[in-house]
Amino acid sequence: MQYSFGMMEDRERWQKDTFLDRVNDIIDFSNIEKLLQKMYTSDLGRAPIPPLILFKTLLLESWYGLSDVEVVEEIHDLRSFERFVGEEVRNYHVDDTT
């Protein structure tokens, strides 16, 4: 992944250790990611959002009682949410006109 100037600046900035950071440190999501990849096809339509990002987004919705729209807003607003789902989420545009 290629980092933007903003992403590089964020990496240099002091970060508060949050519950979500600890979850990422404790849980190895690689096995979950492998299982999700087996069920996920990227053959149709535009480039898909990686399934692990979608899975972690659903976790955030469940843990924080958020709707689809709310969780996307929070991912783009809260650094802890962004770090949890993965900073590469910045590379994906969600069309909110539908």
What are the pLDDT digits (tens) for 14-68? 567 889 999 999 999 999 999 998 887 767 777 778 999 999 999 999 999 999 9
Name the pLDDT band for 86 (thresholds 50, 70, 90): very high
Exposure string for 68-93, b = 16+ CB within 10 A, e = fewer: eeebbebbeeeebbbbbbbbebbeee
The residue with greater pLDDT, 3 or 72, is 72
CA–CA separation, 59 vs 56, rounded Å? 5
Name the pLDDT band for 98 (thresholds 50, 70, 90): very low
Domain map (residue ranges) of the chain: 5-91
Neighbours of 61 (CB within 10 A): 16
Q: What mean pLDDT do residues 68-86 have? A: 94
The pLDDT value recorded for residue 91 is: 82
Contact 23, 84 (CB under 8 A): yes
Nearest to 81 by CA among 98, 65, 59: 59
